[in-house]
Every structure is written in C-alpha cells, then in structure tokens.
C-alpha cells in the first residue's frame, strides 16, 4: 500500500477513535453521575479519574511502543480498540445497572468515590492512552521531521474527532437514541478501527527520504535533546501546559455558562469549539516542523506568551467593553436577563461569536505549541514512543492537578477574575525565556510582556468582574458569592427591596416571597393536603420560596433541603440583611430546616430516610442534568422513600413530565401545568379540611409574615386542581434516566404536547 494512502487510513482510524472516546466520556460521565451525584465536585472527580487512566496508558504505552516492532505496535493498537469496544459493550450494565442500581453505597467521601470511579474506568481509559504512543511507532513515514509531523497529525486528527464527537453526541445521538443506545455507535466505531487496522497488517511504509532516520532539522542546533536536564525542563513545560489548559477550560466554561445561560447542549458546543480550535492549531503547527530549530523554539515561546496575553486581554475587553460599546448593548441586556434565548439568529452570537472570541486564539495556540514542541523534542527515533507517552502522561497529571486546584482552591479563594490574572501571569515565564535565549530582537517578547501586564491590571476584582458580566452598572444592586459549586447572584431593584435570584446566569425565582406565588403554591399545597406532614424534603433551595411554602404547618418537625449550589444560603443571607427581609431571615433560621449541601437525588437514594412529603423545586426541563429529577427512575426512587400516605411533588412544565409521573404513581393530583402530587395511596383531596388548615393560627401567621394570603391563594387555584385516574396505557413520550427527552428538546418541534 502506498505510504500516502496508508497515512490517510491511519489518520481516519484515529479520527474515529477520538470520536468514540469523546462519546464515551460524555455518556459514561452521565451514567456515573447517578452514582456520585451531579454537583461540581463530583463531576470534577469523574473527569480527573478519566484523565488519570489515560495518563497511565500514555506512560505504559510509550514504554511498550519503543520495545516493540511496528507490526507489534499495530497489534497493540488493535488490541486496545478491541478492549475499549468490549468495555463499551458492558458499560451500561456496569456503570448503571450494577454500580448505581445494585451495588451498596460505600460512603460519601470524595476520596472513596474517586477510587471507585477510577477503578471502573481504568481499563478503557488506560487503553485510550496506550493507543497514541503505539500508533506513533506502528509506521515510519520518512525522516525524523516527517515522523514528528505524523505524530502531530495523529494528535490533530484525534482531537478533531473528539470535537466532532462532542457535537454529534449531544445534538444527534443522545437526542435521538438516548445515552444507552449511543454507546453502541461508539462500539461500532471501535470495530471499524479494528477492521481498518487489520487491513494495514503486513504493510511496510518506506520513508519518503530514505530509510535512514536522521536528526537534521529537528531539535535546536548544538544541543542534544536527550539530556536529562532538557527532558526535565520539557516535562515541566508539559505539566504547566496541562495545568493551564484544564484550568482555563474550567474558567472559560464558567464564564460562558453564566453568560450564555446554559442548557443541556451548551457544554457540547463549547467543548467542540475548544477541541476544534486546538486541532486547527495542531495541523498548522505540523507544517512548521522543517523550520530551523532556533526559529521553531522562538515561535513556540512567543506562541505560549501570546496564548496567555490574549486570554487575559480577551476577558478584559469582554468584561469592560460589553456594557460600554453601543453595538454590544444587546449582549449586555441579555447578560442582565434571566432566561436563555435559543433562536438561531441570537445563538450566532451567544454560541458562536462570544465563545470564539474567548477560545479560538488561545486554543489554536495550544495546538500550534504542541506541534512545535513535538518537533523540538523528538530527535531520537528509538525513543519516540517513550517521549510521547511520558510527556502526555505529565500533561495529563498537570490537567488533573489543574482541575482539582481550580475547583477546590481557585474558585473559592480567588474567584474567576483572580484566576484569569493568576493563570495569565504564566505568560511572563515564556516572555523571560524568549528574551534570555536571544532568538532575534527582544522587541516582540517585551511588547507581549508589557501588553500582558496591562491586561492583567485591566481585569477587575472578582466582585466587579461578575457585576459587569451580569449586566449591572450599580454595585448596590448586585449581591453575589462564588465558590467551587457555582456563581450565586441576587440582582436587586435600585431601592434594594426586591430582587431576582440567579445561579450561573439563570434566574431561579423572585424575592420577597409574595412576588412568586408559583413557588409558594408548590410548597404549600402538598403540606395542606397531607393530614400530618412531620418530615418533608425539598430538592433545591433557590430563593427559598418553596421551602417557605412547605414550612407552613406546625405539625412539620423537620425540613431536609438539599442544595448543590453550596453558596446559595450565603447570598440569601446577604439579601435578607440588605433588604431587611424578615420572612427570608426567619426561613433561613427556622430550627426545623436542615440544609444539606449535596445532590438531592443522591442523598435521598443513599440516606434511606422515609418522608411524608418529597418535592423538587422548579427546574427548567432543558437545563443540564434536569432529566435526573424528571425521569421515571427518579419518580420511582422518591415513591420508594415515602411513608404510608406520603406525597411526592414535582413541577409540571411539560407533557412528558406529566406522562412520566402518571406512569409511576397510582394516585395523582394535578394542577394545570403547574403542580403534580403523587402517592401510593388515594390522596385525600378534602377541600373543607384543606381550607380549615389554612386558617390555623400557626399557618396563617407563617404565610402572612411573607405577605401571602394563603387561604386566598389556595382558593384561586382550587378550580384547576383535580384527581387523575391512572392511564390504561403508558405513553411512550416519557423521560427516563438513559433517555431524558425533555432535557434535549431544545427545539419546539421536539417537545410533546399536553
């Protein structure tokens, strides 16, 4: 087979491999979230475990590749793809049916959860890591410069496959097939890799410039790159690069999640832009491998310095300019609002222009730097595998450290604004090295350094940073707290007597409580129907409106409120003090309230407590992970946690939620497109008793303190509240854990009708 055609086939196979790997990451992360919870720390834990397995695979694969012949390395690649395919075939059973649904809980410690997740993902992620170094030694294309370009092309095509995989998985596969069936698409792609690689067995590629592999044109003149000192320095560079790349990814995604007002497909779009831009940079860099070594090193250093300078500059321009530039006023108004706008024309800006402005140049330069660094490192053909494996391992370790450092330390201690300044400061390292190495005039690195310093100063402090990105000019109207879990905000009116609660850019509800009767009804109706609701549970604190509503009976002894935005109560306390909101302050200080900072579904499943009332606060059905509290399996879980005569409650925003709820509960009470109440036993919808409960002094005083006339509120909705009979046939338009149709029904055409 001709060497050009062989290389094309190899690249095509690695594209499919990258596509499948990203598909698996998306699907397996979703399956594991049922076991770990969907809070930010748990998701970081899953991502870190995924990367750790890949890093170990890179390390072992590099050692293996250099000790093996090309034919053996090709067989190792085939074996790796077969192993990944085999794990994929059983992954739904292992990660969901066994680990989540059957295995006993091992505790709530992040360390224990990490070890469990790492253990179950070790085999496939290890094999994914092995594939790059063994494929880098499976074929020899020309001299050393050609080989380093080949390695860069492998990285490019694999990253491009992952970028396409992110989009296709989110927009097509999960939306049309569900998570479990999407796995089989990945397995089929691994199978194609096995078949395609099998076709290459026995192929011998002759070097385009002769079989002798020299080092001319590779490396830096006069310096042997295989010295321990230089390898150590490059290892440090790869560690820092990985740390910075993952840290910036988390920072960018937090900023964009808040600005865009995230829905289920937001992550897929941003990840595709991130990976796609990096892939473009890699392929451009791969064309520079025959530049003289000194020129390539200078280009690498300037690319790294420029990466950090542009990152800080773009953030500074966005933060300071969006409210001042007339042409961008529409974006500032959107940042001020609370609802996502998903029209195609507006999405060009929110999902195109803004993310590309922030991400394209830095991630392009990341890819370019990778290709240039590969050409500077690989001067010994018999060490290609080890160097690829070792440096990718170090890079992965840096990424894992970055993920944990940003999550646990960066966001809580520095905030996003401080992190941008700190990470951007790494650019000074490359500016100094470029000046010290004396490759050409120092003018360019000095200009970059001065620009970087100016941009770092231009990034405002964290409070001002988020105030401007929330569309507010007046700091008195802005209350916020940022930590590892979220950016929690309350935007107040100029007189600070009312406000709207936001979490990561999305509005939740309004304050004071009297302004939001839907949340009051959600909380109050079930406890007024139940004859004696002693212990109740609420998933989600939000503005506290639902908790305040559910707290209106003297018979209630304990209220367990589960919240994954661990700083939500902090911001509510700020508002209570500023607005002198006595009802909010009383709710937060209610001795019956137990605020549990954990994923509600996870805590209810593992807690084993039985409740008189369980309800989830209102959540947009197209939000990421919203399917976890609108699925058939979730409703079955809370049904199993009800005391005799207990009530399960949910908001009813869609027809699928109604169908799913009715498929689980034999007895249902429904308030038109607002509230669903289910039970294992007939629900006593005794209106005379319900109205009498609204007039009990404790209840009347509780709601009156919030400005809510509870008797009038219930009377206004009474005509719309009715008992439903169980349908004879279960509708196919329901939500399940593995096929959350509503979550991915971004288009109106995808939504079921009532």
Question: What does the pLDDT look like over 92-105, one tens digit per residue?
Answer: 999 999 999 998 88
> Tokens representing 307?
């990466």
Q: Are residues 194 and 309 in the same domain?
A: no
Q: Residue 52 pLDDT more than 80? A: yes
- Domain boundary pick from 173, 204, 235: 204
Contact present, 651 and 671 (Cβ < 8 Å): no
Contact present, 369 and 282 (Cβ < 8 Å): no
Contact present, 45 and 484 (Cβ < 8 Å): no
Instruction: Give the pLDDT band of residue 615 (cuts 50, 70, 90).
Output: very high
End-to-end CA distance of the chain: 60
Give residue 7's pLDDT.
Answer: 80
Give residue 222's pLDDT.
Answer: 36
Give residue 105's pLDDT.
Answer: 81
Q: Residue 214 pLDDT more than 80? A: no
Give residue 488's pLDDT.
Answer: 97
Crossing angle of the two packed helices 144-168 and 3-36, in degrees rounded to 10: 40
Q: Confirm whether 87 is domain-assigned.
A: yes
Ramachandran angles phi, psi of 615, nearest 5°: -145, 155
Q: What is the DSSP letter of 192?
A: H
Q: Confirm whether 211 is domain-assigned.
A: no
Give residue 151's pLDDT.
Answer: 80
- Domain boundary pick from 473, 498, 531: 473
Give residue 211's pLDDT.
Answer: 38
Q: Are residues 197 and 276 in the same domain?
A: no
Instruction: Give the pLDDT band of residue 212 (cuts 50, 70, 90).
Output: very low
Q: Are residues 355 and 252 in the same domain?
A: yes
Where do runs of H (alpha helix) occur along 351-510? 354-377, 384-405, 415-424, 427-437, 443-458, 462-469
Give residue 4's pLDDT.
Answer: 72
Find the CATH number of the domain harbouring 697.
Answer: 3.40.50.150
Count the Cβ atoms, other than its own, within 10 Å of residue 10: 25
Q: Confirm whether 575 is domain-assigned.
A: yes
> Tokens representing 324?
């001042």
Calculate mean pLDDT across residues 539-560.
Answer: 97
Q: Are residues 159 and 238 in the same domain?
A: no
Rounded Cα–Cα distance for residues 723 and 673 (Å): 14
Domain extent at residue 70? 1-204
> Tokens representing 515?
């302004």
Q: Are residues 302 and 420 in the same domain?
A: yes
Q: Are residues 298 and 447 in the same domain?
A: yes
Q: Are residues 552 and 415 in the same domain?
A: no
Burial of 208 (0-12, 13-18, 19+ CB in 10 A): exposed
> Tokens representing 188?
């089929």
Calculate mean pLDDT across residues 730-752.
Answer: 90
Q: Are residues 278 and 326 in the same domain?
A: yes
What angle is formed at CA 271 by the lines to CA 125 and CA 407, rounded to 5 degrees?
75
Calculate mean pLDDT across residues 107-130.
Answer: 93
As a whole number, the mean pLDDT across the chain is 91
Q: Confirm whether 445 is domain-assigned.
A: yes
Q: Residue 23 pLDDT more than 50? A: yes
Give residue 210's pLDDT.
Answer: 35
Calculate mean pLDDT across residues 566-580.
Answer: 97
Contact present, 466 and 487 (Cβ < 8 Å): yes
Calculate mean pLDDT across residues 518-534.
Answer: 97
Instruction: Give the pLDDT band of residue 388 (cuts 50, 70, 90).
Output: confident
Q: Are residues 453 and 305 in the same domain?
A: yes
Q: What is the pLDDT of residues 267-313, one digit of tens each?
A: 899 999 999 999 999 999 988 888 888 889 999 999 999 999 999 99
Q: Are residues 742 and 613 in the same domain?
A: yes
Instruction: Give the pLDDT band of residue 679 (cuts 50, 70, 90).
Output: very high
Q: Confirm whether 218 is domain-assigned.
A: no
Q: Which distant-in-sequence residues (6+ apart) come within 8 Å of 509 by Cβ?
A: 500, 501, 516, 519, 542, 543, 545, 618
Instruction: Give the pLDDT band of residue 381 (cuts 50, 70, 90).
Output: low
Q: Residue 62 pLDDT more than 80? A: yes
Q: Are residues 735 and 630 in the same domain?
A: yes
Calculate mean pLDDT across residues 393-401.
Answer: 92
- Domain boundary pick from 148, 171, 204: 204
Q: Confirm whether 697 is domain-assigned.
A: yes
Burial of 608 (0-12, 13-18, 19+ CB in 10 A): exposed
Rounded Cα–Cα distance for residues 170 and 266 (Å): 9
Give residue 209's pLDDT.
Answer: 38
CA distances from 551 to 277, 509, 536, 618 (A): 51, 18, 9, 17
| Strand-pair category, 558-562 with 535-539 | parallel
Q: Can you tell me whether residue 467 is helix, strand or coil?
A: helix
Find the CATH number of the domain harbouring 105.
Answer: 1.20.1250.20
Give residue 208's pLDDT.
Answer: 41
Q: Residue 154 pLDDT more than 60? A: yes
Number of domains observed in the structure of the chain: 3
Q: Are residues 4 and 115 in the same domain?
A: yes
Q: Confirm whether 59 is domain-assigned.
A: yes
Q: What is the pLDDT of residues 237-248, one digit of tens each?
A: 999 999 999 999
Place of tokens 């919808």: 685
Ramachandran angles phi, psi of 419, nearest 5°: -65, -40
Find the CATH number of the domain harbouring 465.
Answer: 1.20.1250
Give residue 141's pLDDT.
Answer: 64
Give residue 748's pLDDT.
Answer: 82
Contact present, 39 and 599 (Cβ < 8 Å): yes
Q: Confirm whether 220 is domain-assigned.
A: no
Residue 689 host element (H or E): helix 687-694
Q: Can you tell me whether residue 644 is helix, strand or coil?
A: strand
Instruction: Give the pLDDT band of residue 124 (cuts 50, 70, 90).
Output: very high
Give residue 386's pLDDT.
Answer: 76
> Tokens representing 466?
């988020």
Rounded Cα–Cα distance for residues 479 and 491 (Å): 6
């Amino acid at each position: 087979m001709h060497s050009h055609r062989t290389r094309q086939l190899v690249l095509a196979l690695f594209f499919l491999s990258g596509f499948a790997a990203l598909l698996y990451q998306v699907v397996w992360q979703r399956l594991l979230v049922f076991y770990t919870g969907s809070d930010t720390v748990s998701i970081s834990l899953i991502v870190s475990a995924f990367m750790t397995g890949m890093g170990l695979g890179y390390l072992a694969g590099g050692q293996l590749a250099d000790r093996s012949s090309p034919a053996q390395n090709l067989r190792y690649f085939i074996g790796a793809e077969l192993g990944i395919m085999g794990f994929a075939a059983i992954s739904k059973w292992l990660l969901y049916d066994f680990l989540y649904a059957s295995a006993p809980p091992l505790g709530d410690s992040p360390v224990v959860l990490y070890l469990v997740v790492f253990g179950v993902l070790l085999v496939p992620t290890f094999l994914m890591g092995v594939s790059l170094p063994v494929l880098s030694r499976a074929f020899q294309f020309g001299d050393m410069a050609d080989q380093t370009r080949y390695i860069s092309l492998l990285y490019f095509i694999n990253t491009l496959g992952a970028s396409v995989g992110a989009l296709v998985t989110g927009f097509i596969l999960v939306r049309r097939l569900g998570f479990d069936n999407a796995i089989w698409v990945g397995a089929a792609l691994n199978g194609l890799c096995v078949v395609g690689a099998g076709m290459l067995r026995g192929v011998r590629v002759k070097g385009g410039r002769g079989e002798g592999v020299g080092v001319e044109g590779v490396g830096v003149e006069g310096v042997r790159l295989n010295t321990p000192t230089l390898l150590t320095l490059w290892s440090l560079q790869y560690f820092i690069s990985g740390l910075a790349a993952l840290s910036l990814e988390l920072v960018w995604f937090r900023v964009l999640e808040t600005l865009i007002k995230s829905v289920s497909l937001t992550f897929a779009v941003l990840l595709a832009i991130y990976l796609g831009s990096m892939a473009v940079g890699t392929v451009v860099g791969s064309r520079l491998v025959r530049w003289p070594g000194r020129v390539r090193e200078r280009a690498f250093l300037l690319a790294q310095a420029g990466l950090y300078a542009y990152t800080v500059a773009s953030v500074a321009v966005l933060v300071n300019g969006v409210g001042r530039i007339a042409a961008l006023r529409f974006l500032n108004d959107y940042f001020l609002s609370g609802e996502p706008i998903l029209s195609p024309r507006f999405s060009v800006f929110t999902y195109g222009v803004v993310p590309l402005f922030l991400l394209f140049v830095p991630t392009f330069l990341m890819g370019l730097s990778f290709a240039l660094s590969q050409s500077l490192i690989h001067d010994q053909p018999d060490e290609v595998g080890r160097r690829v494996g070792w440096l990718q391992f170090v890079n992965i370790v840096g990424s894992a450290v970055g993920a944990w450092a940003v999550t646990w330390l960066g966001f809580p201690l520095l905030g996003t604004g401080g992190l941008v300044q700190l990470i951007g400061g790494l650019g000074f390292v490359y500016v100094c090295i470029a000046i010290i190495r004396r490759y050409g005039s120092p003018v360019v690195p000095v200009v970059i350094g001065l620009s970087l310093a100016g941009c770092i100063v231009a990034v405002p402090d964290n409070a001002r940073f988020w105030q401007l990105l929330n569309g507010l000019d007046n700091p008195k109207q802005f209350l916020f707290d940022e930590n590892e879990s979220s950016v929690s905000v309350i935007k107040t009116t100029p007189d600070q007597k009312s406000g709207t609660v936001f979490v990561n850019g999305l509005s939740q509800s309004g304050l004071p409580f009297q302004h939001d009767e839907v949340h009051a009804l959600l909380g109050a109706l079930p406890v007024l129907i139940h004859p004696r609701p002693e212990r109740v549970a609420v998933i989600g604190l939000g503005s506290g409106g639902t908790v305040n509503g559910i707290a209106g009976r003297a018979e209630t002894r304990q209220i367990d409120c589960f919240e994954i935005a661990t700083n939500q109560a902090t911001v509510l306390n700020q508002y209570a003090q500023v607005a002198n909101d006595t009802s909010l302050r009383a709710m937060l200080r209610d001795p019956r309230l137990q605020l549990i900072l954990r994923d509600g579904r996870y805590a209810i499943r593992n807690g084993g407590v039985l409740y008189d009332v369980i309800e989830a606060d209102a959540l947009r059905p197209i939000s990421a992970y919203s399917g976890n509290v609108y699925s058939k399996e979730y409703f079955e879980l809370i049904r199993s946690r009800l005391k005799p005569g207990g009530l399960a409650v949910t908001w009813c925003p869609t027809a699928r939620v109604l169908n799913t709820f009715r498929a689980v509960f034999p007895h249902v009470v429904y308030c038109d497109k607002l509230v669903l109440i289910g039970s294992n036993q007939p629900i006593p919808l005794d209106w005379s008793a319900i109205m009498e409960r609204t007039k009990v002094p404790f209840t009347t005083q509780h709601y009156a303190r919030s400005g809510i006339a509870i008797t009038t509120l219930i009377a206004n909705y009474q005509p719309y509240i009715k008992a439903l009979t169980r349908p004879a046939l279960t509708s196919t338009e329901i939500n399940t854990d593995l096929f959350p149709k509503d979550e991915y029904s971004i288009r109106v055409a995808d939504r079921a009708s009532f």
